[in-house]
Amino acid sequence: MVKVAVLGAAGGIGQPLSLLVKLNAKVDELALFDVVNVPGVGADLGHINSDSKTQSYLPSSKEDKTALAAALKGSDIVIIPAGVPRKPGMTRDDLFNINASICQGLAEGIAENSPKAFVLVISNPVNSTVPIFAETLKKKGVYDPSRLFGVTTLDIVRANTFISQLFPQDTKPSDFNVRVVGGHSGETIVPLYSLGSTKKYYGELNEEQKKALIHRVQFGGDEVVQAKNGAGSATLSMAYAGYRLAEQILKAVSGETGIVECTYLNLDSKIKGAAEAKTLVNGLDFFSLPVVLGKDGIEEVKYDILNEVNDDEKKLLQVAIDQLSKNIEKGVAFATK
């Protein structure tokens, strides 16, 4: 019996993400939680004739914690695209404070109702919200770093697509699985194109093309914001990316071995390879790296790729590390104040 909860299920990301989870045959129960509109989403998805049971949960007031508790109880995987988008007149700090509080409240709910669940954080800024989840779960005494995931999969998805678009005759996006490390915004995103599946094609690009490709991956979200012309940011591609990580976790939970995905994780020494990774990223507590997934969560951090990068990538990593250190500090300060 596998139960998946989506928190923020009525949003732009939450709805298509919930649809994808609904279609996964490994899921027995889908719990949809939001503070608005979620009964409609539940009724709509509930008509789909896949075999999972769909329930929606809407709190009756701001103080009502029973709906969240019911959605979370018994959940094996909790996916979190809850939050608010930036509105006119709002600064980045205003946005951070609102989303940080939402994340803190949801983390408390998870600690009380589903402390053993895998937690997949989509709410931005991921570089800071994941540390908020970690600190809040820690405070409640239920923290397991091998089950906390910051979803950076969209950066990988974009990195695969964008390099393939440069070689349309010879490649397709699914030929690639770019290792994208670091964080999940702007220059904290570091695609390691010089390694693995992209090495050959990346080597054929000139310096200007390489720079443009990396910039496109780092700021790919802006293309969507501009194209949507004021109507929001990436939702469908983000939902796909969040689902892809959830799907891999569902496979690992059901016993499949050898699954490797990149995720933004806490480099806690309890996890194999985390201490080595932490040394390579100047002591940062959080970083996105490929990890081996198992039944109980993250089994191993694959840090070796950090030793294989070229000089240009080393410079990109240094910029990412400097920015991430501030982002992580901001999340930790919020959660521990």
Q: Of all helices (H) and strands (E), which one includes residue 323?
A: helix 311-336
Smallest distance, ligand APR to C-beta of residue 72, A: 11
Closest residue to ligand APR, based on beta-carbon distance:
11
Nearer to ligand APR, 106 or 277 (CB): 106
Nearer to ligand APR, 22 or 278 (CB): 22
Q: Of all helices (H) and strands (E), which one includes residue 150?
A: strand 148-150
The residue to which tokens 């949507």 are assigned: 228
Stretch 247-286: interaction string toward ligand APR, x if CB under 6 A: ----------------------------------------
Smallest distance, ligand APR to C-beta of residue 8, A: 3
* C-beta contacts of 303-309 below 8 A and 24+ residues apart: 303/273, 303/276, 303/277, 305/179, 305/181, 305/192, 305/195, 306/181, 306/277, 306/280, 306/281, 307/280, 308/195, 309/192, 309/194, 309/195
Stretch 98-137: interaction string toward ligand APR, x if CB under 6 A: -x--x--x----------------xxx-------------
**In this chain, which of 114, 161, 235, 266 binds ligand APR, going by CB under 6 A?**
235
Residue 294 pairs with which residues in a beta bridge? 297
**In this chain, which of 23, 36, 43, 260 binds ligand APR, going by CB under 6 A?**
36
Nearer to ligand APR, 146 or 237 (CB): 237
Query: Is the distance from CB of 45 to CB of 19 less than 8 angstroms?
Result: yes
Question: How many residues belong to the site for ligand APR (CB under 6 A)?
Answer: 26
Q: How many CB atoms lie within 10 A of CB 261?
A: 21
Query: Is the distance from CB of 2 to CB of 76 less than 8 angstroms?
Result: yes
Helix (H, G, I), strand (E, B) or coil at 56: strand
Helix (H, G, I), strand (E, B) or coil at 182: strand
Nearer to ligand APR, 35 or 319 (CB): 35
* Residue 331 touches ligand APR, criterion: CB under 6 A: no
Catalytic-role residue among 184, 216, 278, 330: 184
Smallest distance, ligand APR to C-beta of residue 14, A: 6
What's the token pair of residue 220? 């790919």
User: Helical H runs in 177-301?
Assistant: 199-203, 207-218, 220-228, 236-253, 274-280
For residue 184, indicate whether it is catalytic: yes
**In this chain, which of 4, 5, 6, 14 binds ligand APR, going by CB under 6 A?**
14
Nearer to ligand APR, 130 or 317 (CB): 130
DSSP label at residue 292 = E
Smallest distance, ligand APR to C-beta of residue 38, A: 8
Contacts with ligand APR, residue ranges (CB under 6 A): 7-8, 10-14, 33-36, 81-85, 99, 102, 105, 122-124, 232-233, 235, 238
Q: Hey, which residues are catalytic here?
A: 184
